[in-house]
Amino acid sequence: MEFCTAEREGRLFLVTINRPEVMNALHPPANFELEQIFNEFCADPELWVAIITGTGERAFSAGNDLKFQAESGGAVGAPPTGFGGLTSRYDNFKPVIAAVNGVAMGGGFEIALACDIIVASENAIFALPEPRVGLAALAGGVHRLPRQIGLKNAMGMLLTGRRVSAEEGVRLGFVNEVVPQEKLIDSARRWADQILECAPLSVRASKQCAMEGMRSGSIEDAMGQRYEELYSMLKSEDFIEGPLSFAQKRKPNWKGE
């Protein structure tokens, strides 16, 4: 890989956007590399949680590489799974954590919004500034942000392109935790470790039910839907192992099957 890296740490997959010279902005080759990396994560039964971050302390990702786009005649070029290989990946029910180091703007913020948990460094800055350059946040930002922080708060960001600090992100509700820069990855790993203590099929069933249930008009409708990950959990060995380990007062041995 030329524009990103991926490291395995047991069940954890650590993905790093590696274009610090352009504040980790993404051009088409980087987008397709990230798609390939997250395809690997989704397909590998041994990988249960992913963290995505950016190289350096200045930026998680400044979004779309506008200079590259201008020099290439307006070409954007994102894979079917969306910007960063994540923003249109609707069939991944494994948890993904964004460790946001510095600037997360435009598509960079949209990648973070597509993740399940956002841990931010104290110097993190979030914005969807697309209207300021004649664009719109069409990699999910205009839809995810209102669902995550409410319509009025979202419109206050979407219509102005204003910058939001990490602390304000917590108050608005899209940031889970703010930590010093030097503790960012350790904090993201701590969140990942807590997820890894849980049964992986239970985690995926919970994510699918929560995400797909929001498509329903009522809680009753959501509870009446069929969720494949839920049925996989109910038929699994882990569904037996959980209560058994609790009764035997021991740590469960999750198999993910």
β-strands 117-121, 96-100 pairing: parallel
The one-letter code for the residue type at 108 is: G
Structural Rg of the chain based on CA atoms: 19
Structure tokens at 180: 């010093």
Angle among Cα 52, 55, 61 to the nearest 5 degrees reads 65
Contact 47, 82 (CB under 8 A): no
Q: Cβ distance 30 to 4 under 8 Å?
A: yes
Q: Is 110 among the catalytic positions? A: yes
**Cα Dmax for the chain:** 65
Q: What's the DSSP call for residue 64?
A: B
Catalytic annotation present for 130: yes
> What is residue 183's DSSP assignment?
G
The CA–CA distances, whole Å, from 54 to 64, 86, 180, 197 equal 14, 15, 15, 26
Q: Which of 130, 167, 197, 241 is catalytic?
A: 130
What are the phi and psi torsion angles at 215 (to 5°)? -75, -20
Among residues 110, 168, 212, 237, which one is catalytic?
A: 110
Cα 83 to Cα 108: distance, rounded to the nearest angstrom: 9
Catalytic positions, please?
110, 130
